[in-house]
Amino acid sequence: MKLFRESKGLTFIEVIIASFVIIFLVMGSLNLITRVYNDIFASRVKTYAFNIAAENLENLKSYNFGALKITPDDLLPYPLTKLESDSNPWGNPDDPSNILPVGGIKMKVYKIVQNAEEDGESNIVGRTQSDLPISNLKKIKVVIAYQIKSASGGFMDRTTELESFVSNPESQMSGATIRGRVLRKERSNPNANPAPPGHATKSFVHVEGHPEYTVKVGTEATTPQERGYYTIYNVLPGTYNLYTQGDGYEKSDYKDNPVVIEITTNNVNGINFTAPDIQEASISGTILDSSGNPVNVNDYKKESREIRADDGTSFTTTADTHGDYLISGINPDAGSVSVTAIFTHKDTGVTYYGAYPGRVNVGNNSNITNVNITLQPVTGNTAVLMVQALDARDKSTPIGNINIVLKNVVTDAVMYTATTAPVSGIATILVDVGNYKLTGAGNYYVPEEPTKFISVAAAPPLIKLYFYPSGSISGQLIDYDTNLPPAGPINLQAYSEYSRLVGSASSDTITGQYQFDGVWAGTNNVVRIYPDASSYAGYPDEGAEAIYSILVTQGNVTPNQNFTVQVNAKEVSGKLQISAPGVGNDIMDGAMIIAQPSSITTPPHTYTLDSVNPDEKIQTSLKRKRMQFYGLVSERTGAYKIMLPANTDYDIYAYYSYVSYPASTILKYYKKLSGVTPPSEDQDFSGAWITY
């Protein structure tokens, strides 16, 4: 009994302490279990988010390069809420129809597409449209935003981001550079070394079949050592034949044609030409008065006497006191020329005109003599019309070698032609009194006014025509969505710095190429594009872009002025529902949507490589883009949206497949909607689908 009386139990304080220890241990274990559960759930949600981001990123990659709509600058950069706008080309992520409920968590999908380029550290980075309007590389990014519970019971914002880059498979490579020199070889002195073209003469190097590569040979330098050089930039891979042509020498092909440009070619130097000069002819004779006696030139005004061969360049104002004259330097390529003379008497003021009967053959490079001309006074219903060609930029510099044309005001038939003199810029024409349309054109000169109406009286005053130096502009039109030339011609217009129309052109339906010729040379010309709806419908009424400040130089083609045009795209949307064994009503796990013009009657799933029917073979990239096939994977909400060019009707196909359980059989279904015209809503796929 004594033993039991000496044993002691736990005191109240010890019981309380022990209880607190037990509670602390139990609560710690519960918190640990809760945290582990939350981490497991968060990891699961993050995996869902990653999978959704990867799915949407792959969906973006499946788009045609041109169909990847650029995210507007005003929706960038962060916060993501800026993308929650109806102007977002990829939809408003905050729209309830676009929010994905996954495991009780609402996930917003943000899609961002930007033009991209390589920075100074060789990193590919996205750029805003204002910084990089056009690029053959695009950055695509998908951000999944969602909330998860924190340990404290609140919510934490989380994002999962994936990005990638897509390149334009149709982008052109930068081309090679061709350099060389043009020299002239004198026929009359075979032992002389070839020399460059003369100072300020017109000389060009051409590439057969490629006017966009035409360049002017440098002749502006006053020292011969610096003249005759040329450079052609951005020549794409191919096989080319080059030739040169210019003042004072014959057209000459490059001796080692063809020139082959490989993909790996950067520079091709030493493409030199040695062109034989033109053997010039001469004409000589005597100017006679109406009585048949040689004239004394001292009796006639010096400023109004002229003897001319109409090869375009050759004339003289000199004859001796016996009336003898000599015209040298006549281009034999003219074949035959007419020879005329006009003199005005000092004392009486009477104008005399004469022409050698018939034409003089200069094609044999010889010196033709005894080409005598008899002068007759200009009287009655005839008049001597003098037209002067002047540079429109300063209104005073004479321009030679301009072809002056007078036409009938009613029939537009050509009545008279003449060529302005190289020094004075004046052409003299004996014409009947009356009304005419007056115009002209020259070597890379175009008139300020296309046509001028004049009335010629018995003693007409000097008429002045103004001309601008001209060049050419070339480029290509590409459809934004197909990366191919538009299927119909697109019209373009070129305007001067004063907003005056100076050229019109249409794109080629096969190559998309266009070229303006006769465009005023200057730095502020504007090329503005507009569509011709009658030839190819669906493009917007006004072009979305224009190219400004194009440098047009006289006699040259300014190449690579390229445009991208886009057909108006409209949305077609609807729901995906199916009536099939083992499948719920709404298709929530995605289906393939394919749209093709209704003119194509072959269903997409019948294309095969071994079909004997060409229309049922697998589509080539070119044919697929030309026929504008469009495809996408539907959303996880049982709905779909597809953007289609609004220039035709479409047949839209939906394809769905799944593995049956427990038979593990692949079941494939499709359904077709016919004659859908964008835009259109409620284009639902429902009811029984067809197996295939």
Q: Residue 639 and residue 577: Cα distance in Å, rounded?
A: 9
Rg (CA), the chain: 41
How many CA atoms are closer than 13 Å to the CA of 503, on its beta-carbon side? 26
Q: For residues 447 and 469, what is the distance between their CA atoms, to the nearest angstrom?
A: 9
pLDDT of residue 372: 93
Residue 61: partners with Cβ closer than 8 Å, 6 or more residues away? 140, 164, 166
What is the helix (H) or strand (E) element at residue 589, kind and residue range? Answer: none
Q: How far apart are CA 396 and CA 390, in angstroms?
A: 6
Q: How many C-beta neighbours within 10 Å does residue 587 have? A: 26
Q: Quick one: DSSP state of residue 67?
A: G
Cα 190 from Cα 175, distance rounded (Å): 38
Nearest Cα neighbor of 60 from 207, 165, 173 is 165
Residue-range domains of the chain with CATH: 14-167 (no CATH), 176-276 (2.60.40.4130), 468-565 (2.60.40.10), 569-691 (2.60.40)
What DSSP assignment string belongs to 489-556? Answer: --EEEEE-TTS-EEEEEE--TTT-EEEEEEEEPEEEEEEEEE--TTTSTTS-SS-S-EEEEEEE-TT-
- The structure tokens 């000092």 sit at 346
The Cα 322–Cα 324 span in angstroms is: 6
* Strand ranges, E, within 154-228: 155-167, 176-185, 203-207, 215-216
pLDDT given for residue 632 in this prediction: 66
With 0-12 / 13-18 / 19 or more C-beta atoms within 10 angstroms meaning exposed / middle / buried, residue 552 is buried
In the numeric block, which tokens belong to residue 9? 């139990």
User: H/E element holding 54?
Assistant: helix 12-61
Predicted confidence at residue 167, as pLDDT, reads 80
Alpha-carbon distance of 303 to 310, in angstroms, equals 19
For residue 592, what are the β-bridge partners? 633, 655
> Where does 392-448 show beta strands of DSSP type E?
402-407, 414-419, 426-432, 434-442, 445-447
pLDDT of residue 478: 78
What H or E segment, with its residue span, contains residue 2?
helix 2-6
pTM: 0.46
Tokens matching residue 24: 């602390």
Q: How high is the pLDDT of residue 542? A: 44
**Per-residue DSSP letter, 618:** P
Q: Is 22 helix (H, G, I), strand (E, B) or coil?
A: helix
Q: What is the pLDDT of residue 12?
A: 61
**Nearest CA-CA partner of 639 in 583, 584, 593:** 593
Q: What is the 3-state secondary structure (H, E, C) of 188-199?
A: CCCCCCCECCCC
The C-alpha atoms of residue 673 and residue 671 are separated, in whole angstroms, by 7
- Listed in sequence order, the DSSP H helices in 540-637 are 621-626
Query: What residues pair up with 244 in beta bridges, in sequence order?
Result: 205, 252
- Cα-Cα-Cα-Cα dihedral sign, residues 676, 679, 682, 686: positive
What whole-number distance in Å separates Cα of residue 172 and Cα of residue 228? 31
Entry field: residues in the chain: 692
| Residues 113/101, Cβ–Cβ less than 8 Å | no
Rounded CA separation 636/622 (Å): 32
pLDDT at position 271: 94
Contact 50, 160 (CB under 8 A): yes
Dihedral (CA of 303, 305, 311, 314) sign: negative
**Ramachandran region of residue 290, left (φ > 0), alpha (ψ -120 to 50) or beta?**
alpha
Residue 543: per-residue pLDDT: 43
Q: What pLDDT score does 23 carry?
A: 63
Q: Which amino acid would we find at residue 106?
A: K
Distances (CA, A) of 190 to 164, 250, 559, 658: 66, 16, 39, 85
User: Token pair 């951005």 is at which residue?
Assistant: 234
Element (H, E) at 269: none
Backbone angles phi, psi at 444, to 5 degrees: 60, 40
- The DSSP code for 602 is S
Paired tokens of 106: 């609402």
Amino acid, single-letter form, for residue 210: H
Q: Cα separations (Å) of 341 from 284, 287, 371, 461?
A: 13, 8, 11, 19
Alpha helices in 574-642 (DSSP H): 621-626
Nearest by Cα to 668 from 689, 683, 685:
689
pLDDT along the chain (692 residues), means of 10: 51 65 58 59 78 82 75 85 85 75 77 84 81 82 84 77 79 73 79 74 84 82 83 87 83 91 84 83 88 88 75 61 82 73 84 83 78 84 84 84 87 86 78 87 84 77 87 82 73 72 80 85 61 50 59 82 74 83 68 82 70 52 46 72 79 84 79 90 88 84
